[in-house]
Structure formats: C-alpha cells, structure tokens
A and B are shown apart, each in its own frame.
Chain A
Amino acid sequence: MLKIWSMKKEQQKAENAAEGTAATAPKKKKVTAAQLRVQKDLSELSLGSTMSTEFPDPDNILSFILYIEPDEGMYKGGRFSFSFNITPSFPHEPPKVLCREKIYHPNIDLEGKVCLNILREDWKPVLNLNAVIVGLQFLFLEPNASDPLNKEAAEDLRNHREGFKRNVRQAMQGGNVRGETYQRVLV
C-alpha cells in the first residue's frame, strides 16, 4: 500500500492545484445506521386494527408511543400505551419500552417495566420493532404467571384464574386490587 500511497500523493498534489475549491464542500448531512434501520422497521410494520402509533415529533422517529386495544382475552376493552425509546445503538441494543399506565398485569410492574424476553435477555439485532410489538400484544392475550414482575398478580393468575379475571376488570376500571389503586384504562 505504501507504493500506492506515495504515488497517490503526487497525483493529489496535482489535482488539488487544479481544483482549488473542491475541498470546501458544505458538510453533508448523513443518515445514521440506527435511524435507517428504524425507518425500515416502521415501513414494514403491520399494526392491524388493535394497534396504533403516535409520534410526538414526526422528525424524531426514535421516540414514539404505541397504543394497544386488545379485542379478545382478559384485557379486552382496555386501551394501553407504551413509550418506545430507541438509542443510537439500535439494533445492537433493544428499544426501551415502558407501559405508561399503572396496570394490573403479572408481567408488567407498577412502574411500567415490562418482562418480555426479547426486550432484554433474548434481544438480537435481527429482531425488529414488529417482533417487539407482537410480543407486547401477546402479553395481553396470554399473561404469563411463571415470569412475574407483579408477584401478587402472578399468584392470583396461578391460583385462581377466575379471581384474576375479576381483578383485571376491577383494575381496568380504575379500582383497587390488593391495596393498590390502578389506572382506568377502559375505552
């Protein structure tokens, strides 16, 4: 490479002398890898009728809100929202997802943290936003008692499913379950 370089140096000197102003081109704005990937993921999104998005700033696609309105299962009739925050390290790092309401769910804690394997330990760069969204939707259809974040809710689900269902209704109406007041999420 050394030889090529020294040759190139000579050439360049000649070129620079000839062109003069070419070096002062304006700073070009380039699209970052993370943004391009998010753009691709968003344009492939299949949300169906139960989900919608909201972008507080359409120019910043790394931050948005996802709404889910389950049309079957125990959480039917509720409207739940999740904030998505994507770092410049995406897709090397998973998106940061939080549930914005205080809800009664075995896999979502009272601060909104979500226990979904692909949001943490099983995230891989080949996964996309659609996979995350399908995963969130699934949590409302099949709450999982064996991976609890809200231990009381998980116990209820495991031990008396009917009671759990009643608690879900109660909580979704903004009621009180086991001493915790939940947020009303019914539409």
Chain B
Amino acid sequence: MASSEVHPGSEPSRWAYLDRVRTRPGPFTNPDMFNAEGVVAAMEKMKVLVIGAGGLGCELLKNLALSGFKNIHVIDMDTIDISNLNRQFLFRQADVGSSKAEVAARFVEKRVKGVKITPHNNKIQDFDEDFYMQFQLVVCGLDSIEARRWINATLVNMVDEDVEDSYKPLIDGGTEGFKGQARVIIPTVTSCIECQLDMHAPRAAVPLCTLASIPRQPEHCIEWAHVIAWDQEKPFPQLDKDDPEHITWLYQKALLRAREFNIPGVTYSLTQGVVKNIIPAIAATNSVIAAACCNEALKIASNCAPFLGLPDDNYMMYSGNDSIYTYTFRHEKKDDCPVCGQLARDLPVDPAWTLRELVDSFAARPEAQLKKPSVRGEGKTLYMQSPASLEAQTRPNLDKTLAELGLEDGQEIGVTDPAFATVVFKFRLRFKQ
C-alpha cells in the first residue's frame, strides 16, 4: 500500500467486468425497467450521498466508486483518530486529526480516475431538505440510531406524492461486532427506520440496584463509578469521555470497588470501553455489509437485477458469530409509525378561527370524529385535555384565534385522542385567504 498510483494500463479494463454485469440482463431482470444502452450514462449522471466516512463509509466510498458511480457526496463530522486506522483503510497515520470526509474523498478520487467526491465536514442536521433533494440515492454507514432516525424522518418528510424524484431510496448498513444488517427503505412506500426501531437490540443495561449493592462483573464496577460515584463526588464539572484524566479517575474508582468485592478484570481500556460504550468493530463485518449495500445501490441505479425493498424482502441480517448466517425478510410497514404511518393531511382553516372552533371541528370531520382532541404544534402546546394542570394552562388558548397563537400557513399540528389509543392524526394547516 506504499504507492497509491494507479497503474495506467489497468484503467480501461477496470470497468470491463462491471459493464458486463450492468449492461446485460440476467434471469431476474425486469425487461420493462432495464435499458442496456442508457445504463452507463445514467449512472454517471446520478448523484449519490454517502453518510458516514468511518468503518462502513470507507468501504462504501471505495465500492461505489468502483461500481461506476461518478458523482458522490460524503458527510461526516468526525476527525480521524489513531484507533480508526486498523480498519478505516483510506486513512494513514499522517491523517490523524484531519476530517474523515475530506481525507476519504481525496484518497478515493486519487485511486479511481474520473470519480468526483465532494466531502462535507458537517453534521447531517446542518443541511436542509433542498440539499438532500439533489441526490437520487442515499447510503448510510452510521453508528448512531439518532442520526438514522433523523435522516429517515427527513427523507420521509420530503416525499411529495406528485413528484417521483422526491422518493429517495435509503440504503442503510449497520454493524456491531460480528453482526450486521443491510436494508433498503423507499420512503413512505416500504417500512422505514422508525417502523423498524424494535430491530435494534437495546443496550444491555444493568439494574441500578445491582450496581449499587451487589456488583458481580468488572463492568458493574465501572458502571458504578460512572453512574453513581461520579455524581456523588463530581471530580470535574462535566464528564468528558475523551479526556484521559477523567477516564483515569473512573478507572481508579472502579478498581477500588472491584477490590472491595473481589472482582478481577477492571482495566483502563475496559473502563474506556464501558464508559464510551465501545463494541469492537470487525473489519470483515464492515466489508460484508458495505458490499451488500453497494450491491443494492448498483441494482437500484441500473435495474440490472431486482433490489431489496420492493415488492418483498427489504431487510438482510448477517451474523458471523457462529460461522456465517444470513437471512433476508420483509419487515412490514407499521400503520401507526409516527414517521411514515400517517402523513400530514391538508386541513383548510381560517386564521380568524379561535382554537375552540378548530378543536370542535375535529369532532365533525368524518375521518377523525374526535371527542376529546388534544392539539400541539412543534414547540407550541395549543390545547391538551389531560393532564389536569396542562389543561388549565392551555385553556386560555381556546379563545385566541389561530393567527394570535402564532400559527402559520403550512404548519403541521399533531392531534391525539384517548379514544384512539394507537392513532395520532397529523394535519397541515392551510389558511383560507
């Protein structure tokens, strides 16, 4: 890996095998959707967004670039840490401290001629819907559920039933140790990340009482130092999990507690692992999952073979714990999914209405017929029927007009009613002029 120069002779033949796959139909190709002549040009025009330039992201960028995508953007807010170098193969020791997105983009551009990679050293939340609208495909290699939920909700919200280009397929890869998953989400059409939240095994939390009274494992002692001792003694104003001094403090505390209960095994690196909730990343798992994700991207873009998502299977799970096992299935859409379950319906209202008139109108609307509706907008509680204190606080709003309450045309409101335990109604206010 000393030289990163491309052998000039390899360039033309580099694409030969890829072209055989994407320009020729296979036994499962849908002839109505496949266009052999246009595939290459269409893929080269397509803009793909990769979210995350870490373990999965490095693999994804390399794979996508070698799969014939020419215009790729990558977002990652992190900088390179020395501990990344064992598996995030686009980074070198000299890159430590630099932006992951920038270094990864530069490296792949250098090695794969003709590909343009635009790095964004940002959080995904820094961009708005206009930004995400420019892509035809989003591929995620993320390590957090929050970020997945955010991009999922954003892509679902962007769907405009009249605009086909507003449906952005989301390919999501994820790994944890020897396990991983690859899934495809067609926003509002197939089950979304929010529908599938229960697929994430929650972190194995230890009962607080076990930590406080009868620790049995070194991890219990560390969690005790982290959750209980830190709060009691507050050695530093704010716990910084990246500050060695803070971790050392926790380590010493955990060690003392472990001695008291005769528990061996508390080490500095275990302390760091438990406190930062680090699950060892396995390079092989990342490459298997990234390959599966990229395969889906290639199929969606070229239609050379059916892809995950439609009409049946949309979720591939992989486990390398005991030899190798994969299972692909269809995760059903949830009717009551708070993100994709019901999209907001337009609600024509007069800004001169009082809130009471709006609330009463829900009883009359045939699709709602609500007897005790509670109404909220983002950051604004309009009227809550329960609990009692909130009812009293929001009751004065009933006599104000929608305009006086600061509601705007196009604003979304959520309506709930105890009679419909599983249903939440979302409406988009449309002001009558």
Contact = CB atoms under 8 A, between A and B. Distances in A.
Contact of A26 (B146, B378, B410): B410
A106 to B, nearest CB: 9
Contacts of A2: 33, 35, 38-39, 42, 301-303
A148 B211 CA distance: 10
Given A1-B303, A28-B410, A42-B387, A36 B42 contact: no
A175 B145 CA distance: 46
A179 interface: no
Contact of A147 (B42, B163, B209, B389): B209
* Best-buried of B164, B205, B387 by chain A (most CB within 10 Å): B387
A50 interface: no
A73 B138 CA distance: 57
Contacts of B409: 26
Nearest to B214: A148
Give the interface residue-count category, chain A.
35 or more
B374 A28 contact: no
A89 B384 contact: no
Nearest to A25: B410
Given A5-B164, A43-B416, 9 more contacts: A28-B428, A31-B426, A35-B376, A47-B388, A53-B389, A61-B390, A111-B232, A113-B231, A121-B207
A44 B387 CA distance: 8
B431 to A, nearest CB: 12
30 contacts: A1-B169, A2-B33, A2-B301, A3-B35, A8-B165, A26-B409, A28-B428, A29-B377, A30-B378, A30-B412, A31-B376, A33-B153, A35-B376, A36-B416, A36-B424, A37-B424, A39-B384, A40-B416, A42-B387, A43-B417, A52-B387, A52-B388, A58-B390, A58-B393, A113-B231, A117-B207, A125-B198, A148-B209, A149-B208, A151-B212
Interface string B342-364: 00100000000000000000000
Contacts of A107: 209
B416 A39 contact: yes
A122 to B, nearest CB: 9
A31 B386 contact: no
Contacts of B301: 1-2
A79 to B, nearest CB: 15
A45 interface: yes
B345 to A, nearest CB: 13
B165 A5 contact: yes
Interface residues of B, number: 72
A14 interface: no
B338 interface: yes
B410 A43 contact: no
B25 interface: no
A39 B378 CA distance: 11
B149 A33 contact: yes
Contacts of A138: none
A62 B385 CA distance: 17
A72 interface: no
A39 B232 contact: no
A123 B209 contact: no
Given A5-B136, A43-B386, A53-B389, A31 B377 contact: yes
A39 B410 contact: no
B259 interface: no
A135 interface: no
Contacts of B202: 123-124
B185 to A, nearest CB: 14
Nearest to B227: A113
Contacts of B387: 42, 45, 47, 52-53
A9 interface: yes
A4 interface: yes
A52 B128 CA distance: 40
A176 interface: no
A55 B393 contact: yes
Given A33-B194, A35-B378, A115 B209 contact: yes
A125 B389 CA distance: 26
A31 B149 contact: no
Interface in A4-61: 4-6, 8-9, 12, 25-33, 35-37, 39-40, 42-45, 47, 52-55, 58-61
B389 A52 contact: yes
B197 A3 contact: no
A117 B207 CA distance: 7
A39 B414 contact: yes
Interface in B297-322: 300-303
A155 to B, nearest CB: 10
Contacts of A161: none
A88 interface: yes
Contact of B157 (A30, A59, A113, A123): A30
Nearest to A116: B208
Nearest to B304: A2
Contacts of B416: 36, 39-40, 43
A59 B208 CA distance: 32
Shortest Cβ-Cβ A-B pairs, 7 listed: A147-B209, A33-B338, A8-B164, A121-B205, A58-B393, A31-B414, A115-B209
